[in-house]
């Protein structure tokens, strides 16, 4: 009886213990369930994808990312990459269901013998599970979660799909996530072009990218690469003869990923806009493809024009200015070693001249190129859009446009004579021409071509400062303008982009795009589906076509025979018009000009408004940038003249009187008029 009771108690105890064990397992399982990926998460594994910015012709400009990654299908990954990976990380990958039951006991025996965690037994699927859903914290609980997640992944995906996910997910060092980014970063090529030894190096990096960094630790990286090659031999994926020859090869690495990109000031402008539209998380994780208006070829031309010109000006400034001159130098921190100790002090260095350049396509208001400064890594301040500076004489076309609208003609004369006037809150103002001379009666054409300050000031007095302000704003100047007499020579701050945009009204026959210059074309999601298209088709007439053409014709004289004539001497022969600009004290140099197809502008100066130097003008410093760019850009466009609208007449006149040339006139020039304003009387002075 006692024996039977003992058996019953033993059975009950065993059942109770088994039930308790099962209960504990169920409770542990339930507690772990919340940490394991749901079926939905498993079915929708999507790695973070940065957004890529493209030029108008599809050239990549810049990636914005948290993890720099571009997905590639397995068919675009070379077989020897897969062979190297499986030979090193999981040689029975195609024969297990997420856990390698042969590898587990072997690893446990090694670890018990060593008394430490000396060998792991994670399969590729386990590594993927850990990378996607778990932490790297070493614990028994995490290992079980890893195994369970790996089994779930194997049930949800094929082996090839798992392999593709793995090679697109993992970090290879130097900011490269996935095989595509790694191949470009280390070897400057797509994955399919990778050689066997290059694949071996990349596989070797997966274990610890920092430990095997090929630039910092080349010898360690080579040893690791060679180990992978030997693994391929052991696994029957590579002959010993081939491996021995590859082991002898040195590392050949590419320069790496260019973080700055082709047009950094432009792409930074794009980034800010996209963050405002979609939010930073979407921009950095959702893999958008953003197509912009930038012309990559012309951007390279513009950057070369800016950098070569500004470098030459910088060298000239440093040759002519004392290294101790506080106006042209500044103190920067300097660390030196004195007697074995570091000493922090300061040293004086030359200030850096800056420059900016932007060009618009007249037909669609697209920004073709944008250079916001000489060094984006040093300063991200965009001098095309963020720098507000006095335009100097580059503002004068707005004065002349207001005059043309008021009925003045190119042959009308204005006195180039002294002016004395009072400015609000200041003493009397006595403006001067750059040469401090007075030419007497000067035609509007000559006054603009030769940039006579006193002619522009007096002309604005005759037309009205308020009308000049209204005209400038109507054409696209958005900055506030003070209607003082000095406005005529550009004393109100503006930025380069609004000036170039306003000037584009002239070649566009008085038509202005109602939206700001466009730099985005369209945004697509990672599947290539269109999210948004950015159109700027709305436009309106802000100048009469005849007025616009008269101004084009007047401003052509600036280039043909005026302050910008050096452009012609440099070899630019296409029809063009524009205006130089130089401010008081020579602190800002401008040139804004246009052809029938492109309007572009250049600015040169110091950020702190230091004078560039005596007689340093827009013609000498900004115009060369514009000319270099236009010489190259013009090759992409047909050679055509500005279109003449209806109602425009060309007549021969006496250049001295502006009246119709007669037989007695010593010289005659062809001048442009509207039908309503054309002169009818012959020259009375030379009858």
How many Å apart are CA 402 and CA 474, to the nearest integer? 11
How many Å apart are CA 320 and CA 340, to the nearest integer? 37
How many Å apart are CA 677 and CA 75, to the nearest integer? 73
How many Å apart are CA 20 and CA 519, to the nearest integer? 68
Query: What is residue 336's three-state secondary structure?
Result: strand
**393 catalytic, yes or no?**
yes
State the SS3 of 68-120. Answer: ECCCCCHHHCCHHHHHHHHHHHCCCHHHCCCCCCCHHHHHHHHHHHHCCCCCC
How many Å apart are CA 486 and CA 498, to the nearest integer? 20
415 strand-pairing partners: 441
Quote the tokens at residue 55. Answer: 């030029």
> Catalytic: which of 393, 451, 556, 620?
393
**51 catalytic, yes or no?**
no
Neighbours of 429 (CB within 10 A): 14
Beta pairing, strands 577-582 & 588-594: antiparallel
How many Å apart are CA 453 and CA 451, to the nearest integer? 6
Query: What is residue 544's three-state secondary structure?
Result: coil
Residue 572: partners with Cβ closer than 8 Å, 6 or more residues away: 627, 630, 631, 634
Q: What ranges make up the beta strands (E) of 397-556?
A: 413-416, 421-422, 428-429, 440-443, 511-513, 520-524, 530-533, 539-541
- Taking a C-beta distance cutoff of 8 angstroms, is the pair 206, 172 a contact? yes
How many Å apart are CA 537 and CA 540, to the nearest integer? 10
| Closest to 177 in 3D by CA, of 86, 63, 40 | 63
Beta pairing, strands 598-605 & 588-594: antiparallel
What distance, in Å, lies between the first and last C-alpha atoms of the chain?
153
Query: Angle CA(187)–CA(193)–CA(198) in degrees, nearest 5?
Result: 50
> Catalytic: which of 87, 89, 198, 556?
89
Q: How far is CA 598 from CA 502, 572, 629, 670, 674, in A?
A: 13, 14, 11, 26, 26
Quote the tokens at residue 528. Answer: 């290539």
Which residues are the active-site residues?
Answer: 89, 393
């Amino acid at each position: 009886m006692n024996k039977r009771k003992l058996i019953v108690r033993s059975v009950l105890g065993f059942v109770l213990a088994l039930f308790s064990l099962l209960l504990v397992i169920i409770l542990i399982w339930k507690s772990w369930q919340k940490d394991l990926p749901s079926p939905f998460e498993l079915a929708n594994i999507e790695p973070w994808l940065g957004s890529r910015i493209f030029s108008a012709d599809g050239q990549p400009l810049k990636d914005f990312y948290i993890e720099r990654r571009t997905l590639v299908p397995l068919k675009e990954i070379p077989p020897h990459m897969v062979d190297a990976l499986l030979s090193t990380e999981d040689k029975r990958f195609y024969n297990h269901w997420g856990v390698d039951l042969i590898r587990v006991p072997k690893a446990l025996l090694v670890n018990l013998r060593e008394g430490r965690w000396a060998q792991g037994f994670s399969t590729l699927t386990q590594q993927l599970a850990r990378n996607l859903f778990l932490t790297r914290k070493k614990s028994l609980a995490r290992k079980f979660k890893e195994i369970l997640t790996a089994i779930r992944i194997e049930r949800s995906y094929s082996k090839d799909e798992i392999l593709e996910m793995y090679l697109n997910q993992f970090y290879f060092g130097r900011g490269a996530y996935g095989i595509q980014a790694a191949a470009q970063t280390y070897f400057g090529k797509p994955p399919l072009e990778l050689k066997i030894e290059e694949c071996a190096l990349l596989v070797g990096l997966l274990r610890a990218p920092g430990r095997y960094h090929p630039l910092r630790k080349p010898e360690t990286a080579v040893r690791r690469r060679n180990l992978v090659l030997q693994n391929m031999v052991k696994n029957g994926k590579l002959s010993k003869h081939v491996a021995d020859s590859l082991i002898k090869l040195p590392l050949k690495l590419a320069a790496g990923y260019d973080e700055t990109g082709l047009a950094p000031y432009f792409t930074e402008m794009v980034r800010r806009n996209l963050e405002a539209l979609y939010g930073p998380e979407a921009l950095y994780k959702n893999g958008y493809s953003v197509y912009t208006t930038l012309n990559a070829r012309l951007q390279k031309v513009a950057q070369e024009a800016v950098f070569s010109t500004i470098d030459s000006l910088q060298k000239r400034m440093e040759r002519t200015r004392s290294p101790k001159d506080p106006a042209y130098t500044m103190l920067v921190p300097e660390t030196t070693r004195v007697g074995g100790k570091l000493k922090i002090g300061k040293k004086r260095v030359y200030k850096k001249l800056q420059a900016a350049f932007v060009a618009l396509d007249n037909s669609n208001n697209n920004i073709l190129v944008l250079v916001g400064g000489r060094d984006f890594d040093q300063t991200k301040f965009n001098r095309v859009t963020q720098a507000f500076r006095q335009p100097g004489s580059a503002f004068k076309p707005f004065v002349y446009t207001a005059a043309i609208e008021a009925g003045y003609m190119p042959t009308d004369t204005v006195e180039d004579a002294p002016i004395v006037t009072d400015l609000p809150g200041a003493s009397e103002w006595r403006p001067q021409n750059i040469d401090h001379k007075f030419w007497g009666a000067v035609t509007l054409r000559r006054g603009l071509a030769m940039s006579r300050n006193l002619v522009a000031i007096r002309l604005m007095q005759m037309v009205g400062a308020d009308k000049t302000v209204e005209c400038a704003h109507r054409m696209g100047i958005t900055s506030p303008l003070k209607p003082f007499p000095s406005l005529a020579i550009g004393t109100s701050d503006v930025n380069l982009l609004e000036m170039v945009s306003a000037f584009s009204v002239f070649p566009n026959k008085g038509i202005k795009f109602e939206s700001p210059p466009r730099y985005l074309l369209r945004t697509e999601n990672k599947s290539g589906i269109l999210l948004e298209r950015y159109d700027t088709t709305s436009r309106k007439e802000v100048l009469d076509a005849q007025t616009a053409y008269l101004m084009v014709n007047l401003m052509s004289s600036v280039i043909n025979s005026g302050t910008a004539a050096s452009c012609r001497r440099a070899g630019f022969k296409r029809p063009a018009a524009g205006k130089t600009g130089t401010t008081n004290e020579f602190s800002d140099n401008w040139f804004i000009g246009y052809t029938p197809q492109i309007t572009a502008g250049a600015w040169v100066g110091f950020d702190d408004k230091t004078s560039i130097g005596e007689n340093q003008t827009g013609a000498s410093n900004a115009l060369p940038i514009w000319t270099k760019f236009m010489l190259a850009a013009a090759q992409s466009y047909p050679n055509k003249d500005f279109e003449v609208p209806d109602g425009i007449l060309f007549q021969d006149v006496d250049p001295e009187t502006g009246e119709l040339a007669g037989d007695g006139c010593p010289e005659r020039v062809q001048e442009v008029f509207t039908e309503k304003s054309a002169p009818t009387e012959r020259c009375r002075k030379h009858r």
